[in-house]
Amino acid sequence: MTLPVGREALYLSKLTVLVTCLILLLASQLIGIRLGYSLYAAKVASYGDGQFVMHNGYFLAMIRSEFFRLLLPLGVSRLLSTLSLLLAAAVTLYYGALCERSRTYRGIVPIAVAVWTMVDVIGYRLGEVNVNSDPTGLYLSSVLLLVVSGLLIGHSLRMVRRGAIA
Amino acid sequence: MGTIRKHVALPALALAIAVLAILGLSVYGAKDKGKFEFIDLIGSREAIRDVALVGELSDGMHSTSFRIDGGRLHTDTKLYDQARNIPAYLYYPGSVGPFGAVRFGRMEYNIENRSTEHTIYSRVMTDKGYSVPEGTAEVKPSVVYRPASDENASFSWTNPLEYGLAQIGDRVFYTLPVTTDYTGMNAIYELKFYDWGFRPQDMKPFESRKLVELPLTANEPGGTGIEILGLKAVGDKLALLSVEAGYLHIRSFDSDSGKLLGEADLSKSDPSINWQAAYSERYEAYVDSQRALLTVSFRGVSQDAEERPHTAVLSFDFSNGIELVDWSNLSFEGNEENNYGGVSLLGYRNGRVIAVRSYREPESEQERGVFDILRPQHLYLYVFEHAKLIYKGELATDKNDDRIRAFNRVGGYDYSPTEHRNFLNVALE
């Protein structure tokens, strides 16, 4: 196909849109969580003269729930981990689609590595409270995901440039 | 419309990032919005101008460290990246904790005795909230037990054996809290620990060194009687608490040479009281090592139906021998003591006795929490001058909100310290 812009630009713009959509999804969920908390707290406040409402409860809910800490991390190491998960999810999805279209089935290997790591990290973070070993910054897994994402972006660009997409 | 659609991607990305940033910053900013107030209930704040109260209110995910200095409250809240394991059993600093172990800093000790041998086990507290075994020491005391009554009675001691332990730096000292039924020779031993589980063949280098000998001749028939209550470290001196001829004595020993540096005999201060009958042996001891002060409190056992039990708080200055600087009979109102995660501190400063205590509210009619431990707690700071209460303040926090989860609960409850805020490392400075 002949295009007025370079093929790389096409790939990158589509990737940007995918990442934007994921971030918009995350933002809308977090807004939903905030509104949900307010609605529920208002309802609970109407019971028993308000003795069931916690002061500063939204803050406590956000830091005491591992799931909310996964979505809205408040520390540097956890922020890096969530961002790397987000990027890896977007890149792996797009890469999988490109591999399937260009019939490069060996692409399953880096995808498997990325997915395995993502599942491991999410599983660890959701069960963080019960762990008996030393606390970890999860830097190894974040760096691994970022490196794999970088490699996948590189390979995707090469596939798009070669015009191997059917 | 077409123009907007063509160019909406990057602004949408910027909008999404902005929303995330705003949400994240608002949650992060809310960390300082918890209620943390220091309220004067009785008296004026002038009374605490020369003492500082420091500590932390923490759960597994965040920790607010506070400092009340010169009457002003400063707080600082920190969020942890990963949940921290808080030790599930919180000890009072001055006394023996639950399960019989005593804690000095990061070390925990408990003692087993089988007739003629006492074995002291040491454990070190890890960051993960539990302690691991570290060492073992053995003592073979030369005391003889001859109970006045029942021949088959098992050993009885004045206080749990752990009251006889004291730690100075890395050195641990031990004496037996003997009752009047013991004769022979008691001593203050300096313990030598070998690695737990690896008892050496040659025990010579690990034999405890006798620092001070304490003859128990007063317990022979016809003597006036001596009971050892316990041992406490004040700076680099050792304080031995005993009851002799029915009266409280405190002696100060040098921990290197074992020399007697001073002795305080309370019968000289107030001979009218029969100490042994009036007070319970389980004392609480607090040390201000900067000022070489030892503050000991004894709970009174009321003999008389009308007399309310009080707490005798004595403060001794150890800088030059021993000197009794204060003896106050205080009464804390009849609130229920808080023995789980409670705070109890005593100090003496410039003629005033300072106490920090946490209490549970008494049972109310509308009791929502089924369990006693779940009643609301309050942390109070008291100042007494000449045994009169001149100041009472409360550090009011949101801590009691954490109980809401357990309201109206029928089954069990885990009191997980990760989800319940507790006061940790509270100290007077």
Per-residue pLDDT tens for B180-206? 888 889 999 999 999 988 888 888 888
Flag whether B213 is in a domain: yes
Say whether both B130 and B273 belong to one domain. yes
Give the closest residue to B364 by CA, choosing from B374, B353, B354: B374
Reported confidence tier of residue B81, pLDDT bands at 50, 70, 90: confident
Mean pLDDT confidence for B260-276: 81
Looking up tokens 């602004």 gives: B11
Give the closest residue to B331 by CA, choosing from B279, B395, B387, B286: B387
User: And the tokens for A66?
Assistant: 């591992």
CA pair distance B396, B133, nearest whole angstrom: 38
- Judging contacts by C-beta atoms under 8 Å, the chain B residues touching residue A74 are 24, 27-28, 79
Q: What percent of chain B has pLDDT over 70?
A: 90
The secondary structure of residue B223, as a DSSP letter, is S
Distance of residue A109 Cα from the nearest chain B Cα, in angstroms: 31
Say yes or no for a CB contact (<8 Å) between B368 and A51: yes
Between B364 and B223, residue with greater pLDDT? B223
Say whether both B186 and B276 belong to one domain. yes
Reported confidence tier of residue B153, pLDDT bands at 50, 70, 90: low
Reported confidence tier of residue B335, pLDDT bands at 50, 70, 90: low
Say whether both B136 and B22 belong to one domain. no
CA pair distance B412, B409, nearest whole angstrom: 8
CA pair distance B360, A131, nearest whole angstrom: 32
pLDDT for residue A6 is more than 90: no
Distance of residue B409 Cα from the nearest chain A Cα, in angstroms: 13
pLDDT for residue B329 is more than 90: no
Report chain B residues touching chain A, CB-CB < 8 A.
9-10, 12-13, 15-17, 19-20, 23-24, 27-28, 30-31, 33-35, 59-62, 79-84, 127-128, 368, 398, 401-402, 404, 407, 418-419
Give the domain range for residue B262.
92-281
CA pair distance A104, A25, nearest whole angstrom: 30
pLDDT the model gives residue A91? 96
The secondary structure of residue B366, as a DSSP letter, is T
Q: B34: nearest CA in chain A?
A: A56
Flag whether B52 is in a domain: no
By the CB < 8 Å criterion, does A147 face chain B?
A: no
- Judging contacts by C-beta atoms under 8 Å, the chain B residues touching residue A51 are 368, 404
Q: How many domains are contained in chain B?
A: 2
Picking from A16, A62, A72, the nearest residue to B9 by CB comes out as: A16
Picking from B27, B28, B81, the nearest residue to A137 by CB comes out as: B81
- Judging contacts by C-beta atoms under 8 Å, the chain B residues touching residue A4 are none
Q: Is there a contact between A165 and A159 (Cβ–Cβ < 8 Å)?
A: yes
Picking from A31, A54, A74, the nearest residue to B24 by CB comes out as: A74
Picking from B9, B16, B81, the nearest residue to A75 by CB comes out as: B81
Inter-chain CB pairs, A–B, below 8 Å: 90
Q: What is the pLDDT of residues B365-414, one digit of tens each?
A: 666 666 777 788 889 999 999 888 899 999 999 888 888 888 777 777 77
Picking from A16, A56, A72, the nearest residue to B34 by CB comes out as: A56
pLDDT for residue A134 is more than 90: no
Mean pLDDT confidence for B29-35: 90
Q: Which of A15-24, B83-92, B419-428 has the lowest mean pLDDT?
A: B83-92
- Judging contacts by C-beta atoms under 8 Å, the chain B residues touching residue A55 are 34-35, 398, 401
Say whether both B10 and B141 belong to one domain. no
Q: B30: nearest CA in chain A?
A: A59
Flag whether B111 is in a domain: yes
- Judging contacts by C-beta atoms under 8 Å, the chain B residues touching residue A63 are 27, 61-62, 79
Say whether both B270 and B146 belong to one domain. yes
Say whether both B8 and B112 belong to one domain. no
Say whether both B25 and B103 belong to one domain. no
Q: A133: nearest CA in chain B?
A: B128
By the CB < 8 Å criterion, does A128 face chain B?
A: yes
Reported confidence tier of residue B341, pLDDT bands at 50, 70, 90: low
SS3 label, residue B154: coil
Looking up tokens 């003692």 gives: B111
Give the closest residue to B357 by CA, choosing from B331, B318, B375: B331
- Judging contacts by C-beta atoms under 8 Å, the chain B residues touching residue A20 are 9, 12-13, 16
SS3 label, residue A51: coil
Say whether both B113 and B249 belong to one domain. yes
Flag whether A2 is in a domain: no
By the CB < 8 Å criterion, does A46 face chain B?
A: no
CA pair distance A145, B336, nearest whole angstrom: 55
Q: B11: nearest CA in chain A?
A: A20
CA pair distance B100, B119, nearest whole angstrom: 14
User: And the tokens for B158?
Assistant: 């004045």
Environment class of residue B159 by beta-carbon count within 10 Å: exposed (0-12), middle (13-18) or buried (19+)? buried
Q: Which of residues 49-108 of A touch B (CB under 8 A)?
A: 51-52, 54-59, 62-64, 72, 74-78
Distance of residue B54 Cα from the nearest chain A Cα, in angstroms: 23
Give the domain range for residue A114.
7-162
Distance of residue B374 Cα from the nearest chain A Cα, in angstroms: 14
Say yes or no for a CB contact (<8 Å) between B82 and A54: no
Flag whether A95 is in a domain: yes
Flag whether A135 is in a domain: yes
Q: How many domains are contained in chain A?
A: 1
The secondary structure of residue B191, as a DSSP letter, is P
- Judging contacts by C-beta atoms under 8 Å, the chain A residues touching residue B12 are 20, 24
pLDDT the model gives residue B366? 66
CA pair distance B113, A148, nearest whole angstrom: 61
Q: What is the pLDDT of residues B94-145, one digit of tens each?
A: 556 555 677 787 888 888 877 678 899 998 887 777 788 999 999 988 888 8
**pTM surpassing 0.90?**
no
pLDDT for residue B82 is more than 60: yes
Say yes or no for a CB contact (<8 Å) between A135 and B398: no
By the CB < 8 Å criterion, does A129 face chain B?
A: yes
CA pair distance A46, A58, nearest whole angstrom: 17
pLDDT for residue B355 is more than 80: yes
Give the closest residue to B189 by CA, choosing from B150, B154, B240: B240
Q: Is there a contact between B213 and B231 (Cβ–Cβ < 8 Å)?
A: no
Say whether both B16 and B143 belong to one domain. no
CA pair distance B248, B215, nearest whole angstrom: 17
Looking up tokens 């609130």 gives: B335
CA pair distance B323, B239, nearest whole angstrom: 12
Distance of residue A128 Cα from the nearest chain B Cα, in angstroms: 7
Give the H/E segment covering residue A30. Answer: helix A7-45
Say whether both B97 and B185 belong to one domain. yes
pLDDT the model gives residue A22? 94
Which ranges in B132-210 belong to alpha helices (H)?
none
pLDDT for residue A117 is more than 80: yes
User: And the tokens for B195?
Assistant: 């690695």
Flag whether B177 is in a domain: yes
- Judging contacts by C-beta atoms under 8 Å, the chain A residues touching residue B30 are 56, 58-59
Residue A63: CB atoms within 10 Å:
23
Mean pLDDT confidence for A119-129: 91
Q: Is there a contact between A34 and B23 (Cβ–Cβ < 8 Å)?
A: yes
